């Protein structure tokens, strides 16, 4: 099953490689990984999308907690949460495709943020599934480049991950 | 006081009451070596290879409850140390390994003797640090000792660039350290402990199974009291030997691949299994599916949550320090009115005695050929069962574990997790420094001993009275055994050709060498080594039966009750 794990860790050199190294050393999946400092610059917040059985997930959580730089770990997918991912997608936009692409972007609540006479760059935010759906919806032959940030997640309401 | 980084490093070691540092100098650590020279509180032990420096520090740690310390230079010094670090990591041994690094400004430029030590060691340390500022040395060293020795112990590497050891700052050693990201649990959950005690009291076929965690946390006393109190059978893993006296009737021996019939059968057929500081390793429980196919309730006490339900699903997990949890259990038992089910227990013991009656450790003597098991039995006799025994890896390791009956903890030092050939002699060195009053025996094979043979020179320099018990079968015995049993006796590269004359070799290093070829000479030779040459290092080269195998054996991937016995063949 797919899980979204949120990690609060020391913003130290090497902390990222400890987490990434743990996943590769123990053969856990990483679908995506995002990390950046928080409002407190001594802390980083990381979101990892992974998959595995309940037993594997339990081990992932325990192993992450064992890392000396890791302060807190939560499996966001255990309760109400929000996930968002940003995608920048460059598409060919000529002739009748120009209008069509603009309409698709609107339907998906995307924004066209760069325009040339033959291309658009569309910015799209949403769940991973929504971004996938956009890619499915447009003509694959028109896609020139895609860049995705990977998923960031946060708990709903009172679920707060803090030191 | 204003000091250089190098001076601070040494002062930190003094503050931590470090008596011995095992090391090897080189360019990046010259400032530190210069400071070592100027003081005499911390004694430096010059080894002959960095691998041995880490193993020796590890041996010291295993035989005491202290943190072992090693010091090596950058690049090849650090890479040579990696095997030692990984060995300590797999067995959760507290170490602080200080590595020199090229000057800060050169990092990343492929400088002379540069390597990414923090990157290379990351997967085999509990934690590591690259010190970037002289002001951070003291707090980093404090953290290193704290992390290495608390929670589930392990090695910590502190990598220090050369310029940082020359830079100066005010020295102030923190007496305590707080880390928001590192707070190991100590106290076990009382509710869980209660549940465990209830389960134990209801058990019909209980079994206690303990590992290295009991040794590391110095909980042998609590374990012995609890086991006697309950009257349950107990086994100690390869890493846990000595936690419970081997001569006691409740002791069933070692479980696992080369465990006793009674230990393995009792593990497999128990209805309540109390696992303490053990991790259900593949060499202990065999095939986990086969092990899990038997219905039983498992209670697991461990300081490391990630050890629990990793390979085997556990019913009552208890995270906490082993001695604390066991004390709680004893207290609850005192308050408890009910006792274990005596009738059920008597039946269970009857069944166990049936397995025991198989006498699976019996072996056949041969005329004119020394049986390796016999050497260990005699070693036990001559040393009064009181020696610190180290071993390398192979058949000799298993025989030492099976036939030297350990009565006390921290008397048996071996590489259980990584299985590193070459640890035996350096472990003996570390133990010899920590215990100048004790007999130290290194049980080894003619192949393993050659992996760190250069340390005979260190043993000479520091007059270490180590007795090397080489069970010389002229084979990579354990490899040969697998080839005989599972590869149609095709002995691919397992014969040790062109062996040195170990007697002459020992003499060349300035030690005493004795070759023993006949069974009737074994005892006298051991006596000569341990009594006549008590204060010297003696190399005993026993020419043993070439085809002797270790039994019982559970083949890799097989179920624990699926044992091959000596008598089957
Ligand atoms: C560094 C290392 N290399 C290889 C092995 C694989 N191995 C395990 S036992 C063994 C043979 C050891 O031979 P010896 O030291 O003579 O002991 P014996 O088994 O004959 O008692 C080997 C090669 C190992 N454990 N460690």
Residue-wise pLDDT for B439-473, tens only, equals 999 999 999 999 999 999 999 999 999 999 999 99
How close B463 gets to chain A, by Cα (Å)? Answer: 40
Q: Is the pLDDT at B186 greater than 90, yes or no? A: no
B451 a catalytic residue: no
Give me the mean pLDDT over the B137-165 stretch.
98
Predicted complex: ipTM over 0.90: yes
pTM reported for the whole predicted model: 0.97
Structure confidence at residue B336 (pLDDT): 84
Ligand 1 pocket member B84 (CB < 6 A) = no
B394 CA closest ligand 1 atom index: 19
Is residue B440 exposed (0-12), middle (13-18) or buried (19+ Cβ within 10 Å)? buried
Q: Is the pLDDT at B261 greater than 80, yes or no? A: yes
B127: contact with A, CB 8 A cutoff: yes
- What does the pLDDT look like over A101-131, one tens digit per residue? 999 999 999 999 999 999 999 999 999 999 9
**Torsions phi, psi of A27, nearest 5?**
55, 40
Spacing, Cα B421 to ligand 1 middle (Å) = 6
- What does the pLDDT look like over B468-509, one tens digit per residue? 999 999 999 999 999 999 999 999 999 888 999 999 999 999
Q: Is the pLDDT at B568 greater than 80, yes or no? A: no
Q: Which two tokens stand for residue B216?
A: 């590391």
SS3 B174: coil
Residues 6+ apart with CB under 8 A from A95: none
**Which position has the token pair 């003509």?**
A139
Structure confidence at residue B66 (pLDDT): 98
How close A61 gets to chain B, by Cα (Å)? Answer: 9
B194: contact with A, CB 8 A cutoff: no
* DSSP E strand boundaries for B449-537: 466-472, 512-516
Cα dihedral B443→B444→B446→B449 (10° resolution): -120
Ligand 1 pocket member B60 (CB < 6 A) = no
Q: Is the pLDDT at B183 greater than 70, yes or no? A: yes
Name the DSSP letter for residue B67.
P
Ligand 1 pocket member B393 (CB < 6 A) = yes
B162 a catalytic residue: yes
Give me the mean pLDDT over the B356-364 stretch.
96
Give me the mean pLDDT over the A26-47 stretch.
97
Q: Taking CB atoms and an 8 Å limit, are A163 and B180 in contact across chains?
A: yes
Specify the pairing of strand A119-126 against strand A81-92: antiparallel
Cβ neighbour number for residue B152 with a 10 Å cutoff: 19
Q: Number of helices (H) and strands (E), helices first, in chain B?
A: 22, 19
Q: What are the structural domains, with CATH classification, of chain B?
A: 2-170 (3.40.50.970), 190-356 (3.40.50.1220), 372-550 (3.40.50.970)
Q: Which two tokens stand for residue B427?
A: 């472990």
Which of B122, B126, B310 is the closest to A59 by Cβ? B310
Name the DSSP letter for residue A163.
-
Question: What average pLDDT does chain A have?
Answer: 96
Rounded Cα distance, B417 and A60, in Å = 21
Full DSSP string of B183-251: ----SPPHHHHHHHHHHHHH-SSEEEEE-HHHHHTT-HHHHHHHHHHHT--EEE-TTTTTSS-TTSTTB
Rounded Cα distance, B274 and B268, in Å = 13
Active-site choice (B7, B16, B35, B50):
B50
B528 a catalytic residue: no
Give me the mean pLDDT over the B325-337 stretch.
94
Q: Taking CB atoms and an 8 Å limit, are B306 and A13 in contact across chains?
A: no
Q: Are B396 and B471 in contact (CB under 8 A)?
A: yes
Q: Which two tokens stand for residue B204?
A: 């019909």
- What does the pLDDT look like over B223-235, one tens digit per residue? 999 999 999 999 9
Full DSSP string of B403-449: HS---STT-EE---SS--TT-HHHHHHHHHHH-TTS-EEEEEETTGG
Q: Taking CB atoms and an 8 Å limit, are A14 and B304 in contact across chains?
A: no
Q: Is the pLDDT at B524 greater than 90, yes or no? A: yes
**Torsions phi, psi of A149, nearest 5?**
-85, -15
Q: Which range, of B237-246, B335-344, B398-407, averages the lowest pLDDT?
A: B335-344
Q: Is the pLDDT at B410 greater than 80, yes or no? A: yes
Structure confidence at residue A133 (pLDDT): 97
Structure confidence at residue B496 (pLDDT): 81
Q: Which two tokens stand for residue B409?
A: 């903890």
Q: Is the pLDDT at B567 greater than 80, yes or no? A: no
Full DSSP string of A35-66: EEE-SSTTEEEEEEEEE--HHHHHHHHHHHHH
Cβ neighbour number for residue B286 with a 10 Å cutoff: 27
**Torsions phi, psi of B210, nearest 5?**
-125, 150
Q: Are B197 and B336 in contact (CB under 8 A)?
A: yes
* Res. B96 pLDDT band, cuts 50 70 90: very high
Ligand 1 pocket member B446 (CB < 6 A) = yes
Structure confidence at residue B544 (pLDDT): 98
Q: Number of helices (H) and strands (E), helices first, in chain A?
A: 4, 9
Q: Is the pLDDT at B569 greater than 90, yes or no? A: no
Q: Taking CB atoms and an 8 Å limit, are A10 and B181 in contact across chains?
A: yes
Diameter of chain B measured on Cα atoms: 74
Residues 6+ apart with CB under 8 A from A53: A1
B112 a catalytic residue: yes
Q: Is the pLDDT at B338 greater than 90, yes or no? A: no
Q: What per-residue string of b and e applies to A66-101 under the rule 16 or more CB within 10 Å gives b? A: bbbbbbbbbbbbeeebebbbbbbbbbbbeeebbeeb
Percent of chain B with pLDDT over 90: 97
Q: HSE-up of B283 (CA within 13 Å, CB side)? A: 12
């Amino acid at each position: 099953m797919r899980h979204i794990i949120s990690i609060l860790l020391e913003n130290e050199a090497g902390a990222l490689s400890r987490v990434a190294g743990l996943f590769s050393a123990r053969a856990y999946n990483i679908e995506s990984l995002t990390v950046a400092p928080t409002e407190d610059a001594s802390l980083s917040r990381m979101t990892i999308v992974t998959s595995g059985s309940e037993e594997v997930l339990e081990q992932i959580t325990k192993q992450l907690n064992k890392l000396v730089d890791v302060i807190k770990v939560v499996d966001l997918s255990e309760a109400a949460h929000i996930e968002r991912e940003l995608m920048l997608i460059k598409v060919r936009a000529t002739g009748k495709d120009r209008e069509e692409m603009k309409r698709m972007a609107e339907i998906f609540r995307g924004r066209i943020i760069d325009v040339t006479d033959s291309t658009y760059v569309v910015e799209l935010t949403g769940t991973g599934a929504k971004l996938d759906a956009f890619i499915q919806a447009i003509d694959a032959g028109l896609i020139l480049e895609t860049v995705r940030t990977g998923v960031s997640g946060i708990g709903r309401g009172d679920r707060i991950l803090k030191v | 006081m204003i000091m250089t980084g190098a001076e601070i490093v040494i002062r930190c070691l003094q503050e931590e009451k470090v008596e011995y540092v095992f090391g090897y100098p080189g360019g990046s650590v010259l400032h530190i070596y210069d400071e070592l020279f100027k003081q005499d509180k911390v004694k430096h032990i010059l080894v002959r290879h960095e691998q041995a420096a880490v193993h020796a520090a590890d041996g010291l740690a295993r035989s005491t409850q202290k943190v072992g310390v090693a010091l090596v230079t950058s690049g090849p010094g650090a890479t040579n140390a990696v095997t030692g670090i990984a060995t300590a990591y797999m067995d959760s041994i507290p170490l602080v390994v200080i590595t020199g690094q090229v000057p800060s400004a050169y990092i990343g430029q492929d400088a002379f003797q540069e390597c990414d030590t923090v990157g290379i060691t990351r997967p085999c340390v509990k934690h590591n640090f690259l010190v970037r500022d002289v002001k951070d040395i003291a707090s980093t060293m404090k953290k290193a000792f704290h992390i290495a020795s608390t929670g589930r112990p392990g090695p910590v590497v502190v990598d220090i660039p050369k310029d940082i050891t020359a830079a100066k700052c005010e020295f102030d050693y923190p007496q305590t350290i707080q880390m928001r990201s590192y707070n190991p649990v100590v106290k076990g959950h009382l509710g869980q402990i209660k549940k465990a005690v209830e389960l134990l009291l209801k058990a019909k076929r209980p079994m206690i199974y303990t590992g290295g965690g009991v040794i590391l946390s110095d909980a042998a006393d609590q374990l012995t009291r609890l086991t006697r109190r309950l009257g349950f059978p107990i086994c100690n893993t390869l890493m846990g030997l000595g936690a419970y006296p081997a001569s006691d009737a409740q002791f069933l021996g070692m479980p696992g691949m080369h465990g006793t019939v009674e230990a393995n059968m009792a593990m497999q057929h128990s209805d309540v299994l109390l696992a303490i500081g053990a991790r259900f390793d593949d060499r202990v429980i065999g095939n986990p599916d086969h092990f899990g196919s038997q219905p039983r309730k498992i209670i697991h006490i461990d300081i490391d949550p990630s050890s629990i339900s990793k390979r085997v699903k556990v019913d009552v997990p208890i995270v906490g320090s082993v001695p604390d949890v066991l004390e709680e259990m004893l207290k609850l038992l005192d308050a408890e009115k009910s006792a274990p089910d005596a009738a059920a227990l008597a039946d269970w013991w009857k069944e166990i005695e049936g397995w025991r009656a198989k006498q699976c450790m019996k072996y056949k003597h041969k005329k004119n050929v020394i049986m390796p098991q016999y050497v260990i039995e005699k070693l036990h006799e001559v040393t009064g069962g009181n020696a610190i025994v180290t071993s390398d890896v192979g058949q000799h390791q298993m025989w030492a574990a099976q036939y030297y009956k350990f009565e006390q903890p921290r008397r048996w030092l071996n590489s259980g997790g990584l299985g590193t050939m070459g640890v035996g002699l350096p472990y003996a060195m570390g133990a010899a420094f920590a215990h100048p009053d004790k007999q130290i025996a290194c049980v080894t094979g003619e192949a393993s001993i050659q992996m760190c043979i250069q340390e005979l020179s260190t043993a000479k320099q520091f007059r270490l009275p180590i007795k090397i018990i080489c069970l010389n079968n002229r084979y990579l015995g354990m490899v040969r055994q697998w080839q005989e049993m599972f590869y149609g006796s095709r002995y691919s590269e397992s014969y040790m050709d062109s062996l040195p004359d170990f007697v002459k070799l020992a003499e060349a290093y300035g030690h005493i060498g004795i070759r023993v070829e006949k069974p009737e000479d074994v005892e006298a030779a051991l006596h000569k080594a341990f009594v006549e040459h008590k204060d010297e290092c003696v190399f005993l080269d026993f020419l043993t039966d070439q085809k002797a195998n270790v039994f019982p054996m559970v083949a890799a991937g097989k179920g624990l009750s699926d044992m091959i016995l000596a008598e089957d063949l």
